[in-house]
Structure 1
Amino acid sequence: MKILGLIVEYNPFHNGHLYHLQKSIEKTKATHTIAIMSGNFLQRGEPALFDKYTRAHAAVKNGVDLVIELPTMFACQSAEIFSHGAITTLNSLNCVDAICFGSEEGDVDILYTISKILVDEPEEFKISLKKYLSDGMLFPTARSLALFDYINDFKLLDISKEKLLNILNSSNNILGLEYIKSILKLNSKIKPYTITRVQSDYNSETIESNICSATAIRKQLKDLNDISSISKVVPNNTFDVLKSKIDDDFYPMFDDNYFEILSSIIIRDKNILNTYFDVNEGIENKIYQSIFTSLTLDDLKESIKSKRYTMTKIKRTLNN
């Protein structure tokens, strides 16, 4: 028996997820699969399209053996905390042999080497990082350059500075690096694997083939309000599960559906907004001021957005 762990959101389970599942099983030679899945709210600070039970049902119908919920306190957080929660959960089961994640890079050895440096923080790396920071560089830039210096000096990888920067700035690579870092920190026996993402970019909003991003699927459903519009990009099992829910009057959830409730809570709790988790750095003042000039959730998010507050930070904060 060999058990494969998958860290997923399945929002919803589409053809790309089925490809990833099948290729991961093939690559790891797994006999069983366990998916750690976000619940009703997701890593980027958005509600799931359908509830966690519906998404778990679709996952099992498409071949996943067991779905375990990733608690919201981890699911709606940064890549580091999200990954730590997921890997800790898998590791605590004491039966998972491997994980396999999609990445833009596709070479797990490169990701592993980078992760190990970031976890171990060799003295030469720290000296280089400190130098770049003292030159006034932002931390992400300084860290990237210090990494390249260390890798190049010790000839750990044959990699250009441009490629390293691309790896460190690609969304799925970032998650992959955090998965591996968590495995190393936990001294876990789980072995990491990766497969290259195919065809569609993670944030692409267009449907151009039978494999597209979940973002594109959600946009299609929101714009057309027609489940049949996504039939070619999701497995038949997913389509049947989702259509059954809609036929029973359980419709997709989009973040603007709860704008009125959110507005009421912000106004009601104006004096205690800073007691909510992750509401800090004065963002509570910006939220309260902006609610009176915003007609939609998008208006509110755009009003709060600044160099200090990223859109992802805003989404997660409003969900809290």
Structure 2
Amino acid sequence: MRTIGIIAEYNPFHSGHRHHIQAVRQAFGADCAVVCAMSGNWVQRGEAALADKWTRTALALRQGVDLVLELPTPWAVSSAEPFARGGVGLLTATGVVDTLSFGSEAGALPPLQAAADCLTSPAWQEVLRQGLAEGLSFPVARQQAATALLGPAARCLQGPNNNLGVEYLLALRALESPLRPHTVPRQGAGHDEGPAPSSPHASASYLRERILAGDPAPLTPYLTAPEEAILRQDPAALDFGLRGVLARLRTMTEKDWSRLPDSGEGLHHRLFAAAQAATSLPQLYALAKTKRYPLARIRRLVLWAFLGLTAEDRPAALPYLRVLGFTQRGQILLRQMKTAASLPILVKPAHAARLPEEARRLFALEARCTALYDLCRQKFGQTPGKNEYTQNPIRF
């Protein structure tokens, strides 16, 4: 039986994700297993996930995923390179996944492989350094360097899914992973785009926006009616915990800000000043953002600050495999992983006490992040939150 790995946020799981899983089973057989390395309660764009990780796990299992493993927060809320390395490292450590599948605008591996080759060349490094020295932001300098070497072929790096796909390929190489890459053509609306008449799918950001705004218009066919009802029950967003977020940020010193990853080049000074002055998150982002510091980087740093994370909180490698949920086929995989996995498998939270010290620290960090997520639920105080130490995996 083939076992296909997918790295995802499923924030929320929608028709485009369903299409990806269907395409995987068309390519590898209806009996193949699907393992997802999924972000937990906090996601890469510097936000709370719309629904908690166990709710999103249940929705993914209903739609064809067999086993959901958590991509720990220090990797899930990082930039593309550590995000990709965390996901690839997790799937590789299972010992049962043989293929990494991801969506891309290119829909084929050759242009992505060519871009990955370029980004590991000494010539690219030299042109990149020149761009950064001129004051360009890293994304702009990266694209400029690739264009100088690849010409028009570098345009593939402008697609967000292509870009992440290249990072997956680079992570496979860096980790010497045996996983074979496989890409599926991405269909539908692009990132942050609403549905178009000819589009079979809407972007996840569009669906989140509609739900958080309380828009009563049905979101079918992008979400099934049961999925939509669950997601509307008690959505989460960083803005729902605004005063708590600002309270945390305003107690931080400039030295505290400097301990965050990617906060060099004087950025910690801007973040400190912005946190003292801002009365909303959009205002804070706007005060800190410059041409050199893109919005995505600012948002992630603000989230790291709120969660109390530092660069030291992301270990060099994953210390365990956390099971969030599984189907019957997923349970078979878990039995295989007992002998095949290269990391401890954490099924019940009580088993965290048996882990090595570094792994126990990471689990405690996740518990803290889950407690803070509870503060960002729209109905905080009206419905009970979920506790990291008592919530068992979802069985489907």
- Distance across 1 between alignment mates of 2:298 and 2:128: 29
Letter of the 2:291 counterpart: K
Task: Note the C-alpha offset of 1:299.
Answer: 1.1
1:152-195 deviation per Cα after TM superposition (whole angstroms, max 9, x unaligned): xxxxxxxxx32x23201211101101111111222222111111
1:252 aligns with 2:242: no
| CA 169–94 in structure 1, closer or farther in 2 if over 3 Å, else same | same
1:37-67 deviation per Cα after TM superposition (whole angstroms, max 9, x unaligned): 0011111211100111110110001110000
| CA 113–280 in structure 1, closer or farther in 2 if over 3 Å, else same | closer
Matched residue of 1:96: which SS?
Answer: coil
**Match runs of 1:142-221 below 5 Å:** 143-145=145-147, 147-148=149-150, 161-162=151-152, 164-206=153-195, 211-221=201-211
1:223 aligns with 2:213: yes
The correspondence for 1:284, drawn from 268, 273, 277, is 268
Matched residue of 1:177: which SS?
Answer: helix
- Residue 308 (structure 1) aligns with: 292
Contact kept in structure 1, 2:107 and 2:183, CA below 8 Å: yes
Matched residue of 1:23: which SS?
Answer: helix
1:197-216 deviation per Cα after TM superposition (whole angstroms, max 9, x unaligned): 11211221456555100011
The number of residues matched between the two structures is 295
Task: Note the C-alpha offset of 1:21.
Answer: 1.1
1:225-279 deviation per Cα after TM superposition (whole angstroms, max 9, x unaligned): 54x6324311345235435xx1xxxx11122112211111122223552354224
| CA 261–282 in structure 1, closer or farther in 2 if over 3 Å, else same | farther
- Residue 114 (structure 1) aligns with: 115
1:262 aligns with 2:245: yes
| CA 113–274 in structure 1, closer or farther in 2 if over 3 Å, else same | same
Task: Note the C-alpha offset of 1:113.
Answer: 3.3
| CA 147–237 in structure 1, closer or farther in 2 if over 3 Å, else same | farther
- Residue 72 (structure 2) aligns with: 71
Q: Which stretch of the first structure deviates more once superposed, 27-36 or 78-87?
A: 27-36
- Distance across 1 between alignment mates of 2:149 and 2:22: 34
Contact kept in structure 2, 1:220 and 1:229, CA below 8 Å: no
Q: Is there any run of 5+ residues in structure 1 with no aligned partner, and where?
A: 149-160
1:97-154 deviation per Cα after TM superposition (whole angstroms, max 9, x unaligned): 11111101111122123324434x3xxxx34764786698764245314542xxxxxx
Matched residue of 2:107: which SS?
Answer: coil
Task: Note the C-alpha offset of 1:293.
Answer: 3.6
- Distance across 1 between alignment mates of 2:21 and 2:128: 41
Matched residue of 2:106: which SS?
Answer: coil
Contact kept in structure 1, 2:91 and 2:97, CA below 8 Å: yes
| CA 298–205 in structure 1, closer or farther in 2 if over 3 Å, else same | farther
Contact kept in structure 2, 1:266 and 1:273, CA below 8 Å: no
Matched residue of 1:202: which SS?
Answer: coil
- Distance across 2 between alignment mates of 1:68 and 1:190: 17
- Distance across 2 between alignment mates of 1:131 and 1:62: 45
Matched residue of 1:193: which SS?
Answer: strand
Letter of the 1:92 counterpart: A
- Residue 82 (structure 1) aligns with: 83
Aligned-pair Cα RMSD in Å: 2.4
- Distance across 2 between alignment mates of 1:127 and 1:271: 36
Letter of the 2:294 counterpart: T
- Distance across 2 between alignment mates of 1:87 and 1:112: 16
Letter of the 2:244 counterpart: I
- Distance across 2 between alignment mates of 1:204 and 1:144: 26
Task: Note the C-alpha offset of 1:281.
Answer: 3.4
TM-score by length of 1: 0.84
